[in-house]
Chains A and B, each alone.
Chain A
Amino acid sequence: MQFTTTKDALVNAVNTVSKAVSGKTTLPILEGILFQVQDDEIFLMGTDMEIGIKTKLTGDIKREGKVVLSARLLSELVRKLPEDEVSFILNENNMTKITCLNSEFNIQGESGEDFPKLPEINGEKNTVIPKDLFRSMIKETVFAVAKNDNIPILTGELLEIEEGRIKLVALDGYRLALRQGKTEEGISLKEVIPERTLVELYRLLSLKNEDLKLSATVNQVLFTLGDTSMVSSLLQGDYINYKQIIPSNHTTRVKIRKDELQSSCERASLMARDGKNNLIKMNFSGNNLEIKSNSELGNLHENITMDMEGDPLKIAFNCNYFIDALKVISEDEIVLEFTTSVSPCILKPVEGDHFVYLILPVRYIEH
């Protein structure tokens, strides 16, 4: 193996694939990055056997071959190289010579033959997903993924494509986040993607400008962004029927300025932090929302004006659940819908249905 490339291209490629390399593994070879030169192309690959990332490196190829080099060492090494051309030469016993200007490293590598092959995915279901839409969909739902694996399926998000609609749903038992938008017609898909895959995909989407292609098989999914591709296993099992959870009717409907509600919740969280449920108490009545929170630290009391239709209501929440949702909403005004003080609250846009956040209240008995 022998090729020449630039420092910048190398840094990018190494950074991209190291996302899939796990720090600790039982298989030492997985701590490395595979460099492979074949058919006039240079590829870098990293995997932890759950996800795998492969990217193309542009460069001048002299000789084919492959080697595995330590990901941790390499990502530091390439950053410290001077800004110039970098050449790789694979010598005997996997010793790899990396030269850049006057520096010459000789790195002990491992045989490229031992590196696991990424599964070839020729999915039956292929589609192009609007890149920016999918990126914001991840950002605006991923916080609601379950943090513990009591119910394994909830550690991922449901990706649902149907009749030109793409939906991403996360829920952790206390709240639900749903984001949807338009996509290509003609494909129908329902898969649960692990949280980590989505987080890494979000990073890739922030770096690259190409279209996002998706290809799914029974238990794996392949995302392709130009020269970079990412394979991930899918979570097996049926996702919870989230449609059943979202109430279709309400008895109280509130229109409120999002920023005001968010700041108010953030202030309330200062006082609620100490307690067990980060309790924030809301009293919707007339055109006023009264907010209270208290703990051993002290208490907060404030009022926000809003528009209300329907019955007045007193209800309590974990204010962090509100803050998490409000933080990712970009609308100026939002709608809140309630039925009782012990049933879910819905946050949605004034117009349209591109997001739905559902939060379950805290049952609270006032003394």
Chain B
Amino acid sequence: MQYAIIILTIDNLSTVFSTIVKGLWLFMKITIFLVDMNSFFISCEGTRHPEITGKPAAVAGDPKNRTGIILTSNYEARKFGVKTAMVVHEALRLCPDLILIPPDHRFYGQKSREVMEILSDFTPVIEQNSIDEAWLDMTGCEGIFGKPAESAIKIMERLKNELGLWCSIGISENKFLAKMASDMKKPLGITELWKEDIALKLWPLPVRSMYGVGKQTAKKLQSIGIMTIGDLARINEDILSRNLGKSGMEFHRLANGVDNSPVITHSHDDVKSISRSVTLAEDITDFEKAKIVLLRLSDEISTNARRHGKKGRTVQISIKYADFESITRQTTVPETFLSQEIYTAAHELLKKIWNTDLPVRLLGVSLTGFSKADHSAEATQLSLFNLPEIHSSLETSVNTENIIKQDLLEGTIDELRQKYGASMIKRAVLMKKQE
């Protein structure tokens, strides 16, 4: 037998080798965490409005605005029955003392980055699922941080102490079970849900509470008599695939605790486009007002693009008229991430396509066409206008100088905002009257 192993072709050798590696992998128990920030938006607000602690409060759109719904409520407010997506006036009926705070997504984005920063101290393999939750592949980290439950406590403590934010952590051997586990105990819960526990802990739950099952899917499942996750796990696969097709099979696997999807680290290079859009507080027909909106959106895109170090060649705008008809148009520009240039292109497009007889309810701008690999730092095409002989003799060099100045200016604005917050410096046209 030992001799047989020695007489191997190269091909076989690599197969054998990979089998050994897989074997080792099996010995190492896969450990996945899902870290879910508890009532994230309102908790973020709590860090800068300490006066709301212990009182019912919620982040909500302006009640006068059509986006006037509850985005997140704190646990005190939830006691009154205030829920996410509830219309503001209904929430106030349930809880008249509810403190309402308008959303500041830039601030939450900033906090979210700080959360991810801390999480990345525990493992490099992080998949951010949304602004307030992420999967962490903690496989093989036992030697460094101790048993899963112990490292989960360390994560929770650090988030609480350093950022003042609460989280729940689900621990399991795959992404699905980790996610289900994190929902089981909130706030400040650490829940382990291993495959051998599912019959007891997972199966009694209603299907609607399963990750990935929405209102419509739940309805369909209930119509064929599936009420709990356990029903889903035990039902004949054929019936499922007949009624729900491929996704039915996937739900069946998940209900049985099987999920082989890996934790995928999103890298900054994956950015294909950066877009921002806004549903306006009221429909507009005034071009001057639209220009201000475009300017604000261009500003945001530009900041984001600079953070990713990406320059785009395509500027696209989308408009949705009051009758919900949408149009998008794009144009090509010299590579840029400058707010001024994105705005100029967006403005030109809007001028061309907007039929101002029709009121607009939504405006969006996006920047795409990023070069595949950003070699800008390593390879730069030199220009005649940068040669000292020409530079001095050309009045057009003013143009390039302007771009360089604009670049410096916008970079500085970024730094200021990074340090003192987004409202530190604003364009005059974006200032509200009372300011």
Contacts and interface: CB of A to CB of B under 8 A. Distances in A.
B394 interface: yes
A363 B382 contact: yes
B406 to A, nearest CB: 15
Given A276-B371, A296-B373, A173 B380 contact: no
A263 interface: no
B378 interface: yes
A344 B334 CA distance: 23
A48 to B, nearest CB: 23
Interface in A318-345: 318, 342, 344
Given A171-B384, A173-B385, A276-B371, A362 B393 contact: no
Residue among A173, A174, A296, A361 with most chain B CB within 10 A: A173
A150 interface: yes
Interface string A149-168: 01100000000000000000
Given A240-B394, A276-B371, A367 B378 contact: yes
Instruction: Tell me whether chain A's interface is mostly helix, strand or loop, or mixed.
Output: loop
Contacts of B387: 245, 344
Contact of A360 (B371, B375, B381): B381
Interface string A192-217: 00000000000000000000000000
B375 A173 contact: no
B375 A276 contact: yes
Contacts of B372: 274-276, 296
A347 interface: no
A103 interface: no
Given A275-B373, A277-B375, A296-B372, A362 B390 contact: no
Given A244-B389, A244-B393, A174 B378 contact: no
Contacts of B423: none
Given A171-B384, A173-B385, A245-B384, A275 B375 contact: yes
A171 B334 CA distance: 19
A274 B379 CA distance: 14
Which 5 interchain pairs have the tightest Cβ spacing?
A360-B382, A363-B380, A276-B371, A244-B389, A151-B396
Given A150-B396, A277-B380, A363-B382, 16 more contacts: A151-B399, A171-B384, A173-B383, A173-B385, A240-B394, A275-B372, A276-B373, A277-B379, A279-B379, A342-B382, A344-B384, A361-B382, A363-B379, A363-B380, A364-B379, A367-B378
Interface of A: 148, 150-151, 171, 173-174, 176, 240-241, 244-245, 274-277, 279, 296, 316, 318, 342, 344, 360-365, 367
